[in-house]
Amino acid sequence: MLKINTLSLYGFTYTLKQGLGVKAETTTPHYESFLHNLVQLIGDEFKTSFSQETERKFCQVDEVKVAQLPFTGRREQHTLEGEYRRWSEEDSWVLVFNAYTIASYDKGEAIAFLKCMQEFLQPPEKLQTIGHSLVLSAVLESGTEGEIKEFAKLAYQHLIDNRGWKQEKEGVLWDGKIWQFWRSQPQQWQKIEPNSHLTLVFYRDRAQLDAGAKLLVNYWRPLWLSRDKILWAYRNSRQLKSTLVGDYNTLNFAHPLSELNLTELTEAIETQFRFKQGLNSVEINQTTIEIHLNNYDNYRETLIQNAQVNGPVKLDYLAEFSQQVQQTYLPQLQKDANSLRRCWDDIARLADTINSLLEIRQAHRDRTFQAVVGIFGIGLGTGGMVASASSNYVEDIKGISIGDTALDEMPFTRGWSDLHFVLGLSVFSGTLAGVVTLFIILAWRFFRR
């Protein structure tokens, strides 16, 4: 029968602070609000009050880089102690939740303890979570490996995903064993689902558990941050590549570009701009993975060196992840980047054509506008000259036989005043001049073809 004591639950949450278009000044208020809510939650659940100075240090992430929020109390039938501890890194925030009870539990009691702790493990809303990993550690009093796996299965279903894990790796840490569970498909290191990691560690005694807790905070924490940044960048790049391919197919229109209207051409230019930004992001993610892979390997070596002080250590699966990144992730992103660059060459040529079409259509609209202005100008000028010239010869014009005949056909009568006569004659002359000018322009354009 499984029997454990000093069960500890850890939650490691890594949140993007800035980078890839995200600015710290926009994310900081949301994260500080999230921390204030945690203070309120702990106070309400455990009937604990914190001093203003403690709350300020915990919530002011720019002013205080590292802070703690300890608590003690009871939840349901469990007496526990714990804390939130946070770090403000250059591009991310790290929050570690820890709650433990020194009681001796069987499987059912341990699962009940974990279930009542779920509320304190939620990542912040409105922000990008880089990764969220859980750790269970305890002193093993009795139990077979089958009972341990059954406990791990139930814990995973309640804390992470009720479908259970798909992949697992086993290692040795001193006199105990360590397991890592996660979800991915179709193979162990491919398409790792976000926030799906659970690590389970059973120790021989309380001294080893305390030593293991120091390893978690000092060495596992930065190691998992580098791992989650790698997975986050890889996952985002693969999703972005799919989006960019869709944009590329949109830009390769099935029908001639000359048939597109101005709105469609403008949308094509905007899609071209998004594609360029996306391509830059893929390349940045590739560099990000290279940087954090190097960090990951350094943290891995440091972790193993410090762990070996207390006994034998076998954590081969950590090196397997590093090899997977080198052999699969980075080559895949390089392949994606090369493919997208070829697409960009096509898009650049297409963009030149679109820009030329836009310039031609703009020039055509400008010429049309100039022609309209010219026609109105000629009409107004002609009307003005006719009005000026005819104002002193109204009676003479009326006396001309051909003018007399024309007056009968015009919309103004002999009963009109001389002013009305001049204005009417001016409007008629201006309109006639505009129509003649329009026919001349149309004829000129026709014979130019």
Note whether 11 and 73 are same-domain residues: yes
The DSSP H or E segment spanning 447 is helix 418-448
Note whether 39 and 181 are same-domain residues: yes
Note whether 336 and 367 are same-domain residues: no
Helix (H, G, I), strand (E, B) or coil at 172: strand
Where does residue 155 rank: exposed (0-12), middle (13-18), buried (19+ CB within 10 A)? buried
154, 36 Cβ separation under 8 angstroms: no
- The answer as to whether 211 is a domain residue is no
Domain stop point among 331, 355, 379: 355
pLDDT in tens, 352-380: 666 666 676 667 676 777 767 776 777 66
d(C-alpha 447, C-alpha 284), whole Å:
56
Asked if the bond preceding 186 is cis, omega within 30° of 0, the reply is yes
How many domains are contained in the chain?
Answer: 3
Note whether 244 and 330 are same-domain residues: yes
Note whether 64 and 138 are same-domain residues: yes
d(C-alpha 386, C-alpha 380), whole Å:
10
Domain stop point among 355, 382, 407: 355
76, 112 Cβ separation under 8 angstroms: yes
- Report H helices in 104-189: 107-115, 145-159
Query: What contacts 271, CB < 8 A, 6 or more positions away?
Result: 247, 250, 251
101, 78 Cβ separation under 8 angstroms: yes
List Cβ<8 Å contacts ≥24 apart for 23-29: 27/127, 28/61, 28/62
- The answer as to whether 58 is a domain residue is yes
Which residue's structure tokens are 């009542």?
116
Range of the domain at 382: 363-448
d(C-alpha 93, C-alpha 14), whole Å:
6
- The answer as to whether 216 is a domain residue is no
- The answer as to whether 341 is a domain residue is yes
- The answer as to whether 209 is a domain residue is no
Reading the block at residue 41, the tokens are 């939650």
In this prediction, residue 21 carries a pLDDT of 62
Domain stop point among 296, 330, 355: 355
Provide the whole-model pTM: 0.77
User: Phi and psi for 327 in degrees, rounded to 5?
Assistant: -90, -20
Note whether 194 and 272 are same-domain residues: no
Note whether 428 and 336 are same-domain residues: no
Note whether 173 and 118 are same-domain residues: yes
In this prediction, residue 275 carries a pLDDT of 84
- The answer as to whether 222 is a domain residue is no
DSSP assignment of 218-277 equals IIIHHHHHHHHHHHHHHHHHHHHHHHHHHHHHHHS-SS-GGGS-HHHHHHHHHHHHHHHH
d(C-alpha 423, C-alpha 420), whole Å:
5
d(C-alpha 136, C-alpha 138), whole Å:
7
Note whether 379 and 432 are same-domain residues: yes
d(C-alpha 286, C-alpha 43), whole Å:
43
In this prediction, residue 432 carries a pLDDT of 72
The DSSP H or E segment spanning 179 is strand 176-182
- The answer as to whether 223 is a domain residue is no
Note whether 116 and 178 are same-domain residues: yes
Among candidates 256, 255, 254, 265, which has minimal Cα distance to 361?
265
pLDDT in tens, 187-224: 666 788 888 999 999 999 999 999 999 999 999 999 99
Which residues in the chain land under pLDDT 70? 19-22, 186-189, 251-262, 264-265, 350-358, 360-362, 364, 366, 371, 375, 379-381, 383-384, 386-425, 428, 430, 433-434, 438, 441-442, 444-446, 448-449
Reading the block at residue 128, the tokens are 């990008």
- The answer as to whether 215 is a domain residue is no
Query: What contacts 135, CB < 8 A, 6 or more positions away?
Result: 8, 9, 10, 11, 12, 198, 199, 200, 201, 216, 220
The per-residue b/e assignment along 196-228, b for 16 or more CB within 10 angstroms, e otherwise, is: bbbbbbbbeeeebbebbbebbeebbbbbbbbbb
Note whether 180 and 273 are same-domain residues: no
Note whether 153 and 46 are same-domain residues: yes
